[in-house]
Structure 1
Amino acid sequence: MDHREDSRPEWGKSVSKVCLLPQRVVLVLMGFFSLICAFTCRVSLSHAITILAISNKISNKTVTNLTDEAPDGVCPQELESTDAVEQKGIYKWSETEKGFILGSFYFGYLISHLPGGVLADKYGAKWVVAFCVGVTAICELLSPPSIRLGPYYLITLRVLMGIAQGPIFPGLNGLLSSWVPKKERSTLGTICFGGSTMGIILSNACSGLLLHYYSWSVMFYVFGSLSVIWFIVFAIICTSSPFTHPFIKPKEREYLADEVGNVNKDKPGIPWKPMLLSMPMLSLIVSQMGHDWGYYVMVTNLPLYMADVIRFSIRSNGLVTALPYVAMWIASLISGVVADWLIRSGKLRLVTVRKLFTLLSAVLPGTFMVAASYAGCDKALVVALFTIAMWTMGMYYAGQKLSALDISPSYSSTITAIINGLGSFTGIFAPPIIGLLTPDKNNTQWRIVFWVSAVVLTLSAVVFCLIGSADIQPYDPMYEKSEKPEENKNK
């Protein structure tokens, strides 16, 4: 049957007439919300642990000048208001134990990427993404009882949540490859992937308020319940392909048939050898691992840094750690629009845009992270520098993050699974290593962490700039239909 034939049921035709947004935009927005659900659940523990764990090494010494550090490299305590719920710590976890609790998520996250990506490429990405967010919701709702039972139960649950979240990015890449035309890829792709940043924003902002006014368990129940609601809506209104969607208008389906094609139709098996041995794949792996190191340092450990070193209160901590990600989210949206404009107008080639945005999103964040560690206890300056750091990191979503779609639309889920899975190694090792590097939780020790992050970010981006590509690779079935690399160079 021709994919342009309008074979939808009557109810689907009637719904499409009243739907104001194109279905590809609806899908992108649902992908955006899926990442909000995933990341609020992922990051919530990073905030809860600041009040769940009894801290023994934070100094309460006062200083006369708030721009100076206390003698042990820790800032003076910011006092809570009298209406705060008193929560002074429950569990005596060492810094190393806290590192393993925070890092346990990534053990599961690592092992499920590849199976999830292969399933998404082979059978369609919708139910892969839906199942993953659904299981994440269950794990979040079970977090309070697991914390009360003991650290081993909590670690086990976090590993399970990591397994559930591993295939989400590969699945979303698979959906984008089927639904989003190349000339809209930067804009719609950054909107979709911006959900991860917005999830961190909401988790940081809401966690601080929820922990301030309510018992710590309320936060987990709120985020878990919202994820359940997303699962129900997504299961009803989204599909893996525009050619099986019951609500899509014929005009949009014809447009996608012309601009995207049916990447899921008659697709051969995954070409493992040429895929894994290609230089563009190597560049994606290295750049992903470098980016993830810097990103996970900020996502997982910034709340601890703000609480233990800069000494923000529980409520303020959530708000100030949200600000950098607000900047990052706004920058990602702007960079997506700018990237598409640069490509459409012919001012820069696609590969140049990807490399430029990737390099800027590595060198600048590393520079401002390090600068923040030299700002002493000037809280406003510290927050401003971290905010600028994450603003500049937002350009990454219009850079390397979309390269899997560029080099292989047919196998983008598998490629994303491989590079994200290997990148998650940094999520496993970063928290314990940071715990070992910061036993006294002072600024001098944290400064080393930020310097290491800056170097790793920069070197990984340089590798991508040297050997990365944005051309469809010969192993992809869409290669013969694409413009050849030498043709692209003339544009």
Structure 2
Amino acid sequence: MFSSWTVCCGRVRQRWVFAVMGCLAITVSYANRICLSLAITQMVTTAESSSNSTTDGETCSGTLSASSNSASSDTYDWDEYTQGIILSSFYWGYIVSQVPGGIMADKFGGKYTLSAGVLSSTMFTLLTPLVVNKFDSTGLIILRILMGLGEGTTFPALNVLIAEWAPPQERSKIGTMVMTGTQVGTILGNALSGILLEYSPIGWPLVFYFFGGLSALWLVTWILFFHSNPDVHPYISEAEKKYIQDKISENTRKHTQPIPWRHMVTSFPLWALLIGKFGHDWGFYTMVTDLPKYMSNVLKFSITSNGLLTALPYLAMWILSNICSIPADWLIKSGKMTTTNVRKAFTTFGSVGPAIFLVAASYGECNRVLVVILFIIGVGLMGPFYPGLMVNGVDLSPNYSGTLMALMIATGSLAGIVTPYVVGVLTPNQTVTEWRMVFWITFAVFMATNVGVLFWQDGEIQYWNDLENRENDPKDVESEATAAKNLKNLRTKAVT
């Protein structure tokens, strides 16, 4: 059976099949994660209000369209505080499981570690209506924490798979295609949830059944047809297998070593990863969580009309992410720029650009067209961050790429927890002036974290990637002895 599949599928480059399937893995995981943000508007009992807003220099004129809860499904009396706890509870579990998930991925391989994460996400998404009906908000909070714990393995596992499947010359394109599943999941999760909520014959539960079912379909396909690395993939052509092995075998080992925590903690390039990731995610989560609220409460768009407008910035981000990965790989492959300079340049572009345009949007005040355009540009310019910093962990250490990604996602998740509370504290009245402060803080975080990137980001493999072979290599020992001798001579000359 395998021979016939090999003849058929061997013509297809399996590393690009992985890139597509990896992107879809993040897409379904993100859709499962964020669909609650829209569904909760129909799950909560709402009070009717007929008050219209007026222009007073702080808010925009207009009338919000009333939204009604689905008559065919139950609703719950959850206040704003309870809703905030429900929406943030996912990230408490998500932070906890990142590092264990990365260790699992590095030790046991990416395929089944990723499968376990998506299985968890699928199962808890499908169970959401039952748990809410039986246990109310307490049950939903516990379920979301467990869902976050399970999904913590997703990104680390994918980073390990990128290290196995992406040759260094194609790492920007493949890694970016995989990681931009976040934007695809955000776009589909919001857009399809709105459609499902509007036309569902059973109310809000259909959202969870739909995305859970979609996730289950991906999981079955992944388990049946994909494998952890080219060595064991039955459908890959010999030519492609040899190409991948020749390009990445130089820095990839086949046995495990203890994770070099002491060396990693003192590594400035690793700290650049974490600082840069926190800055990006501060801006990203601010927009993902609160852009619909800004358009609704400040700009006074109705829920129906702002659905597409909310998705457009992430569509722009997805397009620009993948476009930027092409010149990033070309610059590295052609030798026009070093890997380090390429990563720094694209990371900086993906930080400074959004910082400027998001602040500018807050000065557009009630010019709806201008503000929407600036938001699209601002969020879209986050795209170069992916070929800049998101794939940088694999540059630094292919052997511990899962652990590095786990540390990055855990750091970014702190922003996912903090930003909704910061917005809530700073915008009690939902005025333009209050929101402007939110965007200035985002500007400051982007700029401050990018300073760390410019100083410390590196695109070369770090010495702690393979300490065992390095310690046993006479050339390394000799080079270290020479370096130490040279340093001693310099110090002697300085003293004299």
What TM-score do the two structures reach when normalised by structure 1? 0.89
Change (3 A) 1:59 1:323: farther
Task: Specify which of 119, 126, 134 is matched with residue 141 of structure 1.
Answer: 126
1:176 matched to 2:165 = no
The aligned counterpart of 1:370 is: 359
Structure 2 distance, partners of 1:304, 1:98, is 14
The aligned counterpart of 1:6 is: none
1:217 matched to 2:205 = yes
Change (3 A) 1:60 1:72: farther
Query: Which structure 1 residue ranges, 5 or more long, are not aligned?
Result: 1-10, 64-68, 485-491
1:265 matched to 2:251 = no
Greater mean deviation of Cα atoms: 193-202 or 296-305: 296-305
The aligned counterpart of 2:149 is: 163
Task: Specify which of 174, 178, 183 is matched with residue 188 of structure 1.
Answer: 174
Task: Specify which of 103, 122, 136 is matched with residue 150 of structure 1.
Answer: 136
Structure 1 distance, partners of 2:280, 2:40, is 25
Supply the AA of the counterpart residue of 1:259.
K
SS in 2 for 1:136: helix
The aligned counterpart of 1:293 is: 282
Query: Deviations along 1:225-256, whole A, 9 cap, x unmatched?
Result: 10000000000111111111111111111111
1:37 matched to 2:28 = yes
The aligned counterpart of 2:93 is: 108
TM superposition shift of 1:54? 5.2
Instruction: Answer whether contact 1:211 1:315 (CA < 8 A) is retained.
Output: no
Instruction: Answer whether contact 2:400 2:465 (CA < 8 A) is retained.
Output: yes
SS in 1 for 2:425: helix
Structure 2 distance, partners of 1:293, 1:106, is 14
SS in 1 for 2:383: helix
Change (3 A) 1:142 1:441: farther
TM superposition shift of 1:288? 1.1
Supply the AA of the counterpart residue of 2:235.
F
Change (3 A) 1:281 1:265: same
Greater mean deviation of Cα atoms: 52-61 or 265-274: 52-61
TM superposition shift of 1:346? 2.1
TM superposition shift of 1:75? 4.5
Structure with the largest fraction of helix: 2
How many positions carry a matched residue from both structures?
467
TM superposition shift of 1:72? 5.6
Structure 1 distance, partners of 2:24, 2:73, is 33
- Higher relative CO (Cα under 8 Å, sequence separation at least 6) belongs to 1
Change (3 A) 1:72 1:211: farther
| 1:48-127 map, 5 Å | 48-53=39-44, 60-63=51-54, 69=55, 73-79=59-65, 90-127=75-112
SS in 1 for 2:236: coil
1:308 matched to 2:293 = no
TM superposition shift of 1:305? 2.3
Structure 2 distance, partners of 1:236, 1:311, is 48
The aligned counterpart of 1:475 is: 464
Instruction: Answer whether contact 1:144 1:220 (CA < 8 A) is retained.
Output: yes
Instruction: Answer whether contact 2:73 2:205 (CA < 8 A) is retained.
Output: no
Instruction: Answer whether contact 1:177 1:409 (CA < 8 A) is retained.
Output: yes
Task: Specify which of 371, 381, 384 is matched with residue 382 of structure 1.
Answer: 371
What TM-score do the two structures reach when normalised by structure 2? 0.88
Supply the AA of the counterpart residue of 1:190.
T
Change (3 A) 1:50 1:303: farther
Greater mean deviation of Cα atoms: 11-20 or 185-194: 11-20
Task: Specify which of 193, 200, 215 is matched with residue 207 of structure 1.
Answer: 193
Over aligned residue pairs, what C-alpha RMSD do you find? 2.6
Structure 1 distance, partners of 2:390, 2:399, is 16
The aligned counterpart of 1:332 is: 321
Structure 2 distance, partners of 1:414, 1:298, is 27
Greater mean deviation of Cα atoms: 416-425 or 33-42: 416-425
Greater mean deviation of Cα atoms: 120-129 or 295-304: 295-304
Greater mean deviation of Cα atoms: 285-294 or 173-182: 285-294
TM superposition shift of 1:80? 7.0
TM superposition shift of 1:117? 0.4
TM superposition shift of 1:446? 2.1
Greater mean deviation of Cα atoms: 93-102 or 31-40: 93-102
The aligned counterpart of 1:66 is: none
Instruction: Answer whether contact 1:121 1:174 (CA < 8 A) is retained.
Output: yes
Query: Deviations along 1:314-357, whole A, 9 cap, x unmatched?
Result: 33232111100000000001010111112122222111110111
Task: Specify which of 394, 398, 409 is matched with residue 405 of structure 1.
Answer: 394
SS in 2 for 1:394: coil
SS in 1 for 2:366: coil
SS in 1 for 2:259: coil
Structure 1 distance, partners of 2:451, 2:72, is 45
Query: Which structure 2 residue ranges, 5 or more long, are not aligned?
Result: 477-496
Instruction: Answer whether contact 1:291 1:362 (CA < 8 A) is retained.
Output: yes
Change (3 A) 1:55 1:448: farther
Structure 2 distance, partners of 1:438, 1:269, is 47
Supply the AA of the counterpart residue of 2:15.
R
TM superposition shift of 1:460? 0.8
1:465 matched to 2:454 = yes
SS in 2 for 1:410: helix
Query: Deviations along 1:91-114, whole A, 9 cap, x unmatched?
Result: 444433332221111101100000
